[in-house]
């Protein structure tokens, strides 16, 4: 079986000289299809750096990142851009919705960048919006939606088409706990349908949706656990 995401002994230093920060110091992980891995750790421990490397937004100083078995270092810039648009979905804490585009246009953006015509992209965008329970919101602009709805648009954009690797950096940061839980449910559903996902989170409750939790400290994996108990399992256990 090929891992959807593989990091092998990855090192990454930001900045130079006195200001250099060794953000990742030899990180090795793999994430299979059907697997949701949560990454936890203190602020500055390298979580976002790890996610950026996984998505080909940044490259390691040494070590190798492979997506669907392809070493990213072997890809041309054009191939890498194609892989980012086609195979990888991102959800960032800052939503990065384009304010002048409607919800459907925002969701369709990665498809259109990938060369899908607007006419073909529209139904795919509507399907992704339906998946996040925003049917009927396709023609709203971001400022006509609540924060939670905007976040779900961002999730739909990350899931649109059939992205095999979903990377989420504290995607529930700005959300109330109920909406946050809904976002996790969506991520879990997409993973159960065959994607692989990496979720950076501060909340143990959200990490409870993961198959595995990786703890980072100062750029090193210090611990890995199996699944944490999910809230509903805790409830069942105490019922
Ligand atoms: P986390 O997401 O866990 O908070 P980051 O991966 O953002 O951690 O950052 C890890 C370390 O690298 C921190 O010390 C941070 O200040 C530093 N860092 C991250 N990005 C940059 C950058 N572009 N330039 C300089 N230092 C950076
Ligand atoms: Mg971060």
Instruction: Kindly report the protein residue whose alpha carbon is nearest to atom 16 of ligand 1.
Output: 44
Q: Are 227 and 208 in contact (CB under 8 A)?
A: yes
In angstroms, what is the span from residue 122 Cα to ligand 2's centroid? 32
Q: Name the residues around ion ligand 2, CB cutoff 5 A.
A: 47-48
The answer on 54 and 106 residing in a single domain is no
Say what the pLDDT of residue 232 is: 53
Query: Strand 212-217 vs strand 220-225: parallel, antiparallel, or unpaired?
Result: antiparallel
- pLDDT tens digits along 211-228: 999 999 999 999 888 776
State the average pLDDT over residues 93-110. 88
138 and 229 share a domain?
no
Let me know whether 198 and 97 are in one domain. no
| One domain, residues 5 and 123 | no
Residue-wise pLDDT tens digits, 22-58: 999 999 999 999 999 999 999 999 999 999 999 998 9
Higher pLDDT, 162 or 98: 98
Into how many domains does the chain fold?
2
Beta strands in 182-219 (DSSP E): 196-200, 212-217
Residues 5 and 78 placed together within one structural domain of the fold:
yes
| 73 and 105 co-located in one domain | no
Q: Give the end of a domain, one of 162, 190, 221.
A: 162
Domain finish residue from 133, 162, 191:
162
> The domain that contains 20 carries what CATH number?
3.40.50.300
Distance of CA 230 to the CA centre of its chain: 20
- Pair (83, 173) in one structural domain: yes
CA of 43 to the centre of ligand 2 (A): 7
Q: Which domain holds residue 122?
A: 90-162
The verdict on 65 and 182 lying in the same domain is yes
Task: Work out the percent of the chain whose per-residue pLDDT is above 90.
Answer: 62
Per-residue pLDDT at 80 exceeds 80: yes
Query: Which of 129, 144, 162 is the C-terminal boundary of a domain?
Result: 162
| Lowest-confidence region among 12-21, 64-73, 166-175, 217-226 | 166-175
27: part of which helix (H) or strand (E)? strand 21-31
pTM of the model: 0.87
83 in the same domain as 34 = yes
Closest CA to 228 of 203, 202, 201, 210: 210
Do both 118 and 3 map to the same domain?
no
């Amino acid at each position: 079986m090929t891992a959807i995401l593989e990091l092998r002994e990855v090192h990454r230093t930001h900045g130079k000289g006195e200001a250099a920060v060794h953000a990742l110091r030899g990180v090795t992980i793999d994430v299979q299809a059907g697997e949701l891995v949560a990454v936890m750790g203190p602020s500055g421990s390298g979580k976002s750096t790890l996610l950026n490397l996984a998505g080909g937004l940044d490259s390691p100083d040494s070590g190798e990142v492979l997506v669907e078995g392809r070493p990213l270092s072997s890809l041309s810039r054009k191939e890498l851009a194609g892989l980012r648009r086609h195979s990888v979905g991102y959800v960032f804490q800052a939503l990065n919705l384009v304010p002048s585009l409607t919800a459907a246009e925002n969701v369709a953006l990665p498809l259109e960048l990938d060369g899908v015509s607007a006419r073909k992209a529209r139904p795919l965008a509507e399907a992704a919006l339906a998946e996040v329970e925003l049917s009927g919101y396709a023609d709203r602009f971001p400022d006509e939606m609540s924060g939670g709805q905007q976040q779900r648009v961002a999730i739909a954009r990350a899931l649109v088409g059939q992205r095999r690797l979903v990377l989420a950096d504290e995607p529930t940061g700005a959300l109330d706990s109920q909406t946050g839980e809904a976002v996790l449910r969506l991520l879990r559903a997409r993973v159960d349908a065959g994607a692989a996902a990496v979720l950076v989170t501060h909340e143990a409750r959200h990490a409870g949706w993961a198959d595995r939790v990786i703890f980072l400290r100062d750029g090193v994996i210090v611990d890995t656990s199996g699944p944490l108990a999910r809230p509903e399992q805790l409830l069942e256990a105490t019922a």
